[in-house]
Every structure is written in structure tokens, then in C-alpha cells.
Amino acid sequence: MTDAATAPEQRFTLQLRAAAEPDFSAATGHRFARDVADATIPPAVFRRYLVQDYSFLDHFVRLLDAAIATAPEEAARRRYTDFRAAVTSGENTYFLRSFAALGIPETEWREPEILPVTRRFHEIMGEAARSGRYAPVLTVLVVTEWVYLDWATSVMDTVPDQFWFAEWIDIHANPDFRSFVEWLIAELDRLGPTLSDAERAEVRDLFVRTSALEQAFFDQAYG
């Protein structure tokens, strides 16, 4: 991909993605995606991944609350509100059903040991949410959701027998999720040209750091 510094006409989000390489592509192309699709991921790895990922839920909901609070337009606030409802209902139910099916005791997922990369992810979501500004919040949301759309789309034609694999792919590869992520990306592209140089540098830093954490989070699951 062309470096952002040599392509000022390039879409803002593509400039950010280029700045985040190789971590962004390492996350979207991680072995995790193929291992889930083929149902060959070691049980201990998926268990660790699922428990750590569930620990994000409260932090992610707070990030969405910050998006609702800082989005400048009512239409955007409605989209975030609808997505928040989906996360706290259908996605939350997926986790609970998966924990039960995989025999993960309630004590393990309610009070997990928070691993280092997970903790850093909690912190960066909190950093964006506490900023009180739309650009940092939107940036972290774009990275987290874009990475998941890309990896899930890459394996969406494979449907494992186990629902905890198949539904995790579908949650992140269905048309509604794709539409939401494409809208997030368009929002950040629209916002980019309105930012000051300092704000653009802040957004770039957040995008790069969040991309690195996405890649590290998958690595962490494999121990």
C-alpha cells in the first residue's frame, strides 16, 4: 500500500491503515481466523480468547456511550444506539451460550484474570472514551470493527459445525455488521479533513496503537 505521506489525496482511513502496517494486516490475516473457520483452534486457546474478549464488553459499551454522547448528528447517534443494543443483547447472549456449551464456569468469565494485552486494550478504550471528543472515540471503533469485519469476511464461506465458531464468524460478517463498519469508516473519512494537525496526529497514534493491540490480542490467545 502507498505510504500516506506520498499520497495526500488518499482516503483518510487508508492513510491511517497504511500507517498501522504491518500490524493491521497481521491482525486481519491472523491464523486465528482460519483456525476458527476450520474448527482446528486448540480448545484452551479459544477458551482463553473468549473469556478475555468478554471482559471487553463493559469497556466497549462505555466507548459506544461516548460515541452517542459526542457524535455531532442525530442520525449518527441513532446508529450507535442501535449497535449498542445489538452488542448488549445478541452478542452478549452468544457469549453466555458459548460459555455454557464449552463448560466454562461462571467464576472464570465473571472474574477473569485480565491478561496484559487485554488490560492495555481496556486502557485505550477508556482513553478514547474519557477524551470527550468524537474523533478519538470513532478512531478506536473503526479499528476494532474493521479488523473483525476483514478477518470474518475472509472465512465467511466456511461454516463450522460448532455454533460457537460459526456464529462468531457470522456476527462479524453479516450484511448489517458490514453496513455499520462501512459507515464508521465513511464517518472517519468525512471527519479527517476537518481535524487540526494535532488532532490528526492524535488519531493516527490511536489507530496505530489499537491496530497493534488487535494483533497482539490474537497472539496472546495462543499463549
Q: What are phi and psi of 67, to 5 degrees?
A: -65, -40
Is residue 208, in this structure, part of any structural domain at all? yes
Q: What is the pLDDT of residues 101-111, one digit of tens each?
A: 999 999 999 99
Is residue 3, in this structure, part of any structural domain at all? no
The residues, ordered by sequence, that sit 6+ positions from 182 with a Cβ below 8 Å of its Cβ are: none
Q: What is the pLDDT of residues 51-93, one digit of tens each?
A: 999 999 999 999 999 999 999 999 999 999 999 999 999 999 9
| Cβ–Cβ under 8 Å, residues 23 and 208 | yes
The mean pLDDT value of the chain amounts to 95
Is residue 4, in this structure, part of any structural domain at all? no
State the total domains in the chain.
1
Is residue 7, in this structure, part of any structural domain at all? no
Report residue 134's pLDDT band, with 50, 70 and 90 as the boundaries. Answer: very high
- Does the pLDDT value for residue 2 go beyond 80? no
Cβ atoms within 10 Å, residue 150: 18
Domain of 205, in residue numbers: 12-221
Is residue 89, in this structure, part of any structural domain at all? yes
Q: What is the pLDDT of residue 36?
A: 98
Is residue 122, in this structure, part of any structural domain at all? yes
Residue 201 sits in a domain whose CATH number is 1.20.910.10
- Does the pLDDT value for residue 13 go beyond 70? yes
Q: What is the pLDDT of residue 9?
A: 59
| Cβ–Cβ under 8 Å, residues 146 and 185 | yes
Is residue 2, in this structure, part of any structural domain at all? no
Is residue 5, in this structure, part of any structural domain at all? no
